[in-house]
Amino acid sequence: MKSIAQIVQNNRRLLAAYEDKVQPRFLSRYAREPMDAAVYRKLRALDPGPDAPARVLDLGCGTGWLARTLAAESRYRRANIVGYDLSPNAIRIARERAAADGLGARTEFHVADILTPLAGEPGGACEIWVCGALHQMKDAGAALGRVAGLLADGGIAYVQTFVEDPDVNEHVDMAVVAKMGHRVFRGSEVEDLAEANGLKLGGASHAGMVYFCTLTKKSAIGEAGK
């Protein structure tokens, strides 16, 4: 049986409505606070990142809401912002909305599975954003390994996903989130997967079940010393 997320990906009208109406309410429900542009603000608060990033990747970009948010910021005026998503419908909407917002020249979007080599393999990224996507990927560990491979030394990855929260009704909430096609990570699972795949945790915070963290690449020197 297809998850709700899979059904939405196959329908352009549902995808557009999801970004506009469903996603903010869905995140706010499980964050226990308003959660629209707050995703960007909360991640940036963990680490401001480079002043003028040159190459930025948005993995699992969906309809491009985050890529557009970044492109509208002055710090990204010279950045190459590239979004990737499995859904052709989502990428079509992402391109249309970026063009409508006058951001088409500052963003590009491609249909791709990030678990496989990407066209041109755009390594050396100053920033990689994985927002609302890691919990939908069939192999989260492999996805984080790809992040490590695409990230520049000294670069930073920003991740927003779902992690269990003992203060919520897990049996109900986790079942609903799972029905949406989203995995809910347990305890330190995200950190453990990151560590096992070439990344280390920087900052982290919670808003209910909504989890935010930054990741950096492990140094070869540091790993050799272990």
Residues of the chain with pLDDT under 50: 1-8, 221-222, 224-226
Beta-carbon contacts of 111 under 8 Å, excluding residues fewer than 6 positions away, are 84, 85, 86, 87, 88, 91
Q: What is the value of pTM for the model shown?
A: 0.84
In this structure, are residues 137 and 102 in contact, taking their beta carbons and an 8 Å threshold?
no
CA within 13 Å, CB half, 103: 27
In this structure, are residues 179 and 3 in contact, taking their beta carbons and an 8 Å threshold?
yes
C-alpha to C-alpha distance for 210 and 170, rounded to whole angstroms: 13
In this structure, are residues 94 and 69 in contact, taking their beta carbons and an 8 Å threshold?
no
Residue ranges of domains in the chain: 4-224
What does the pLDDT read at residue 161?
93
What does the pLDDT read at residue 60?
94
* Overall CATH class of domain 4-224: alpha beta
80: three-class secondary structure by DSSP: strand
Beta-carbon contacts of 109 under 8 Å, excluding residues fewer than 6 positions away, are 61, 64, 67, 82, 83, 84, 85, 91, 94, 95, 98
Beta-carbon contacts of 202 under 8 Å, excluding residues fewer than 6 positions away, are 46, 47, 156, 213, 214, 215, 216
C-alpha to C-alpha distance for 175 and 184, rounded to whole angstroms: 9
In this structure, are residues 27 and 19 in contact, taking their beta carbons and an 8 Å threshold?
no
